[in-house]
Structure 1
Amino acid sequence: MNDSADPVRGAQKRDLVILGGGLVGMTLALAAARQGITSHVVERADPAELTADGVDGRASAISSASWNLFANIGLAEALAPLGCPIDAIAVTDQMKPGRIDFQPKEGDSALGRMYANRDIRLALFAAAEQEPNITWHTRADVVSRQRGPHGVEVTLAGGQELAGSLLVGAEGRRSPTRDEEGIGLVAWDYHHTAIVTALAHEKPHDNVAWEIFYAAGPFALLPLLDLPDGRHRSALVWTVPAKDAKGVMAMTDAAFTAEVARRMEGMFGGIELIAQRLAYPLSYQNATRIVGDRLALVGDAAHGMHPIAGQGLNLGLRDVGALVEVLADGMRLGLEPGDAQVLKRYENWRALDTFTTMSVMDGIVRLFGVPGQTASAVRRIGMAAVQRMPRLKTFFMNEARGLSGKLPSLLQG
């Protein structure tokens, strides 16, 4: 990455100033760079710490459309050997009869790929380091943001000034850029916490992702590649009531593993905890708007959802594809990246997809959270009906792949 840029009133000038260099922010910078769009990326953390072993044990389900994005920006060679294909998804209410099995037809692509977040970060950072259109500012705190008719300027704690045409908020759910703009949130607390870790297990997972719904919350087992020593491995996302989270986190490894095994009912044989446990409070939040004067929001700064079905990161990557496309189209017509027409097109494009995806995910969480044997029986009858309807299953699989609706060109094969 190149630290030189043309000065504008003493500031370093680029097309975009992206605040937040996480998975979405850095993907945006790299995708934009491939279109000739330059950017500053400002990240508070140290990349070496973000990619250190054991710091982030989370894994993400990358949809087919999101994989197309990574491939189209040159990450296929680095990422292809590291992802575990999701060949099927099993959805069940408390492991009782009446489950749904989503499995592509022979010859169709997998439903997605599972990646350790660390592996995606390493690939993104390595590519960004070689990209002259990206200037990366790490361990950097923003002390002021200014937007005006002629551009945007950001001042860092050390006094360095960065200039651009468009400011992008990619700092995550607690985006100070969004809050400073006064953008409101439609938000509620699920009063649940996701406990995230990884398991080694005796029996193979056969590339099947399991979503097991219990009254207390979903219990997801997501396939990962086998360990170098040949042991089978899965990511675990166990949702527990917020009031129980501290107790679950305080369990000994043996007690925690025993509770997990009880919910798995022995389907993977003996299990072993192989990563630290991390806890994340769960909530719904959707920004009332995602653009302002020379401002755009992407990823969790714009929308945050329950991790059920693993669609949060994929939704953010669709933001990336749409924003880069409208920016590139506008710049070919002679418009600035911060032009209001360009940003309005981005907001309109993303509105329906975001609302639909988040509403469906929230509805599923609420539907499967209704307690009682009657509610469970009704759910299982409904799932058994869906199991017998191939067209409806195909629709759901296309949604999981991220292939429905109007896709940005970067997310197409």
Structure 2
Amino acid sequence: MADSDIITTEVVVLGGGLAGLTMAAALATAGVPVVCIDRDSPDLHRRDDFDIRTTAIAYASMKVLEGAGVWRHMADDAGPILDIRVADQFSPLFVHYDHREVTLDGKNQPFGWILDNKDMRHALFARVAELPGLRHIAPAQAVRIDRDRSGAVVELADGRIVKARLVIGADGRKSLARETAGIRLRTWKYDQTAIICTIRHSEPHNGVAVEHFLPNGPFAVLPMTQNRSSIVWSEKSSLADMYIKLPEAEFIDELQRRSGGYLGEIELLTRREGWPLSVLLAQEFVAQRIALVGESAHAIHPIAGQGLNLSLRDVAALAEVIVDAYRLGLDVGSPEVLARYQRWRRFDTVLLAAVCDGLVHLFSNNFGPVKLAREVGLAVVNRLPPLKRFFMRHAMGVVGDLPRMVRGVPL
């Protein structure tokens, strides 16, 4: 093997998705040498039709992206969420969150932002190009990971070798890193499929995100730029395919019925896709020379829009423990460093997954007494300002033991 086929670095990130590239950018921004192995070509991700999904970025996640130098490349493409309205079906009793009721950094801030996945990828690629300490290898496939007490070796399909102190698994639900570590999973499926698409409408959304809890699953309308909105419609899996295949006019009529018609005339801007919903929780987030982030470690129901936000909290916490160790000249893949990350992140993740699962079961039914209790509960929250402010701060991701990046403190 030629010397050119051996790459030596401090950290290797497996996976070039939204979480993986953010992880690599955060480390490189702080001066940690990092290699990111990405199975897909950037040109593939730049195609407008490759990924029609959208992403919800909570305020805390914006701070993480800002700290990684990514946010300035995507801010203009992100539609702010200024209000959130949550209702049980179409009850007149609902919770209304107004961003003017919460002050952060000395002023009122949006709860978050909605943008196209492709725009976030473009921003990440732009940031990668600015970071000489980050080597993005794409397309490339990791096929084997060997570990010992001193480090890890990742073998690529083309024969190249990457040596590092630590392997970060950001390689999704079928993670090679997790499989190599022998970390077991707890999983369960919902009888729901998320129907997604993007629409344009004649009436302004005014930055309002709307979520109706319907018997077959939540129906969300999320505000984007240019008078567009993202639809995330959770439906019984047995019915989802039928709705996806409806003639366009009939599908739009169904959107009008479920949204209440407040958006005026609607047109579809993307195809419709269905994503079966399930939960995945790794029993451990770390093993010898391996740490998991994002969907390698967890996947939850989109009922609260926390999927990528949970992953970016992983990124912020893991980046902090790695950078602290690196600057002290310590081994970034040592058991002590990884244990700190595990303590920080796993409890928060399991708790949020349990809360989301509870909400799914609480709201995805039409049982009379439960329905009445839900409506009363929403009304009570709406009329208790301290409780409502707590929930608003939680939605923004600024509750709990916050990493430096979330607090706006550079790594």
Q: Report TM bin, short chain.
A: over 0.9
Find the counterpart in structure 2 of residue 151 from structure 1. Answer: 151
> C-alpha separation between the residues in 2 aligned to 1:359 and 1:62?
21
> C-alpha separation between the residues in 2 aligned to 1:77 and 1:342?
30
Find the counterpart in structure 1 of residue 35 from structure 2. Answer: 40
SS at match of 1:251: coil
Q: Are 2:402 and 1:401 aligned?
A: no
Displacement after TM superposition at 1:31 (Å): 0.2
Letter in 1 for 2:405: L
Displacement after TM superposition at 1:333 (Å): 2.5
Q: Are 2:15 and 1:12 aligned?
A: no
Q: Deviations over 1:88-137 (max 9, x none)?
A: 10001112111110113364211111121111110111110221111111
Letter in 1 for 2:188: W
Find the counterpart in structure 2 of residue 95 from structure 1. Answer: 90
Letter in 1 for 2:62: W
Letter in 2 for 1:116: D
Find the counterpart in structure 1 of residue 260 from structure 2. Answer: 265
Q: Are 2:116 and 1:121 aligned?
A: no
Q: Deviations over 1:63-97 (max 9, x none)?
A: 11111111122233322211111111000111211
> C-alpha separation between the residues in 2 aligned to 1:159 and 1:83?
40
Q: Are 2:180 and 1:180 aligned?
A: yes
- Mean Cα deviation higher: 234-243 or 168-177: 168-177
Q: Are 2:385 and 1:390 aligned?
A: yes
Letter in 1 for 2:396: R
> C-alpha separation between the residues in 2 aligned to 1:403 and 1:356?
16
- Mean Cα deviation higher: 342-351 or 146-155: 146-155
SS at match of 2:108: coil
Letter in 1 for 2:383: R
Query: Which of the numbers 67, 72, 75 marks the counterpart of 2:70?
Result: 75
Are the aligned partners of 2:210 and 2:221 in contact in 1 as well (CA < 8 Å)?
yes
> C-alpha separation between the residues in 2 aligned to 1:143 and 1:372?
50
SS at match of 1:235: strand
SS at match of 1:105: helix
> C-alpha separation between the residues in 1 aligned to 2:3 and 2:363?
56
Displacement after TM superposition at 1:352 (Å): 2.3
Q: Deviations over 1:176-224 (max 9, x none)?
A: 3212322111211012110110111121111000111100111000000
Find the counterpart in structure 2 of residue 247 from structure 1. Answer: 242
Letter in 1 for 2:228: R
SS at match of 2:99: coil
Query: Which of the numbers 79, 82, 87 marks the counterpart of 1:84?
Result: 79
Letter in 2 for 1:263: R
Displacement after TM superposition at 1:7 (Å): 5.7
Are the aligned partners of 1:7 and 1:13 in contact in 2 as well (CA < 8 Å)?
no
Query: Which of the numbers 20, 36, 48 marks the counterpart of 1:25?
Result: 20
Percent identical: 40
Find the counterpart in structure 1 of residue 372 from structure 2. Answer: 377
Displacement after TM superposition at 1:150 (Å): 1.9
Letter in 1 for 2:236: P
Find the counterpart in structure 2 of residue 3 from structure 1. Answer: none
Are the aligned partners of 1:11 and 1:153 in contact in 2 as well (CA < 8 Å)?
no
> C-alpha separation between the residues in 2 aligned to 1:145 and 1:43?
15
Find the counterpart in structure 1 of residue 343 from structure 2. Answer: 348
SS at match of 1:371: coil
Displacement after TM superposition at 1:374 (Å): 3.1
Find the counterpart in structure 2 of residue 199 from structure 1. Answer: 199
Are the aligned partners of 1:202 and 1:271 in contact in 2 as well (CA < 8 Å)?
yes
- Mean Cα deviation higher: 298-307 or 250-259: 250-259
Letter in 1 for 2:10: D
SS at match of 1:29: helix
Displacement after TM superposition at 1:170 (Å): 0.4
Find the counterpart in structure 1 of residue 330 from structure 2. Answer: 335
Where does structure 2 lack aligned partners over 5 or more consecutive residues?
102-106
Letter in 2 for 1:190: Y
Are the aligned partners of 2:212 and 2:219 in contact in 1 as well (CA < 8 Å)?
yes
Question: Taking structure 2 as the reference length, what is the TM-score of the superposition?
Answer: 0.95
Letter in 2 for 1:296: A
SS at match of 1:331: helix
- Mean Cα deviation higher: 134-143 or 303-312: 134-143
Q: Deviations over 1:143-179 (max 9, x none)?
A: 2111112211111111111111101110112213212
Are the aligned partners of 1:144 and 1:154 in contact in 2 as well (CA < 8 Å)?
yes
**Alignment map for 1:202-351 (pairs within 5 Å):** 202-226=202-226, 232-351=227-346
SS at match of 2:257: helix
Are the aligned partners of 1:87 and 1:111 in contact in 2 as well (CA < 8 Å)?
yes
Question: Taking structure 1 as the reference length, what is the TM-score of the superposition?
Answer: 0.94
> C-alpha separation between the residues in 2 aligned to 1:15 and 1:293?
15
